[in-house]
Structure 1
């Protein structure tokens, strides 16, 4: 079932008197619970498309529809509210706060989420999220005491603690060795399957593609293959 639609997405940047068109009319649908991998050479527009889809960057033309709502017609506050309630984000680096424990990283995420929970509900959510990513025993650890793979697991827990419908992942395994990369992508694939989370993942790692249900290739700002 289609949850998210991108229609004729265009993005251009101005460099003085000239314009550079980065995205040249992208059409893409994301289905509920499906892991879609976005691939292509550097400069093909993958990360630009992901950040526009996630409401982190403005588009130049086109429309974005999520859950039947036209995000491209909303003001900044409306887009921010959808991001806070329904979207999760995982990037190449975990970007954990160095002076917060694993548990405190998740508490901070709940503090900034649009929905407010009781103290009991917050504690349960944190426990559930850490159990899901197999990091419960590290809840009182600081980032400096975690491996790269463990940090990325915490980042994933932080991204899913508010039960998002879509997870946007931009090169989530790029900073990890092959063993840790497999652990992270297997976790992301399991989240899509068991929690019915829709995933849009940008990756350069061909080994990650076997975990995707759909592969979308980009070249020069266009989709060239499904």
Structure 2
């Protein structure tokens, strides 16, 4: 079932007297419980497409249908509320607060989101998420003592703490070595399946495409190939 649809998305920039076409009519559907990967050379438009789909910047024209509503027609405040409550974000760097422990990072997010959980319930939820990303044993650790992969695991837990419908990941493994990259992609895929959410990620790493259900190849602001892989654990050994 498609939860997010992009219809004829175009993005133009004016550079002096020249109009630059960054996206040239993109059509894309994202389904629940699936990881969709955007690949392509630098300048192909994949990161621009992700930020438009996430409501971080407007399209020049086109529709962004999320839960049967066109968020392209919404006010900036309406889009901000959707981002805050329905979307989660993972970036290349974790951007953790250096003086807060892993547990405190997540507790702070619950406070910011004005969660109605009791203090004990918040602690239980934080423990659940840390366990989900295999970091419960490091909950009292501060970011300077964590590896790059461990920091990204905390960032993933932070991104899903408000139970988002869609998870956006922009080069989430770019700063990691190959083993840690596979570990992070394994977690992202497992979370996508377990929580039945939708994940859209941008990656340059060919190995990371093994964890995607759908691979979209972009070039010069257009989709030039779409591969619907429909992977399962029998196809890719996620335990490696």
Runs of 4+ aligned structure 1 residues displaced above 6 Å come to none
Partner of 1:155: 155
Q: Deviations over 1:191-223 (max 9, x none)?
A: 111111111010000001111111011000001
The range that moved more, 115-124 or 22-31, is 115-124
Give CA-to-partner distance per residue, 1:144-189, whole Å, 9 cap, x none. Answer: 0000000000000000111111110011111000110010000011
Q: What residue number does 1:43 align with? A: 43
Q: Write out per-residue CA displacement over residues 106-133 of structure 1, whole angstroms, 9 at most, x where no aligned residue.
A: 1222223265433233222211110100
Aligned residue in 1 for 2:142? 142
CA distance in 1, matches of 2:173, 2:221: 23
Unaligned stretches of 5+ in structure 1?
A: none
Structure 1 residue 138: Cα displacement: 1.0
The equivalent of 1:214 in structure 2 is 214
Name the CA shift for 1:115/1:5 in 2 (closer, same or farther; >3 Å): farther
Q: Distance in 1 between matches of 2:158 and 2:104?
A: 10
SS at match of 1:131: helix
Count of residue correspondences: 226
Q: Deviations over 1:65-94 (max 9, x none)?
A: 111111111111111111111111001111
Q: Does 1:113 align with 2:95?
A: no
Task: Give the match for residue 68 of structure 2.
Answer: 68
SS at match of 1:12: strand
SS at match of 1:137: helix
SS at 1:109 equivalent: helix
Q: Tell me how far apart the structure 1 counterparts of residues 179 and 11 of structure 2 sit (CA, whole Å).
A: 36
Task: State how far apart, in whole Å, the 2-side matches of 1:66 and 1:123 are.
Answer: 31
Q: Which residue of 1 aligns with 2:2?
A: 2
Q: Specify whether residues 100 and 55 from structure 1 end up closer, same or farther in structure 2 by C-alpha distance, changes over 3 A only.
A: same
- TM-score relative to the length of structure 1: 0.97
Indicate yes or no: 2:53 matched with 1:56.
Answer: no
| 1:20 aligned partner | 20
TM-score of the superposed pair, with normalisation by structure 2: 0.91
SS in structure 2 opposite 1:201?
Answer: strand
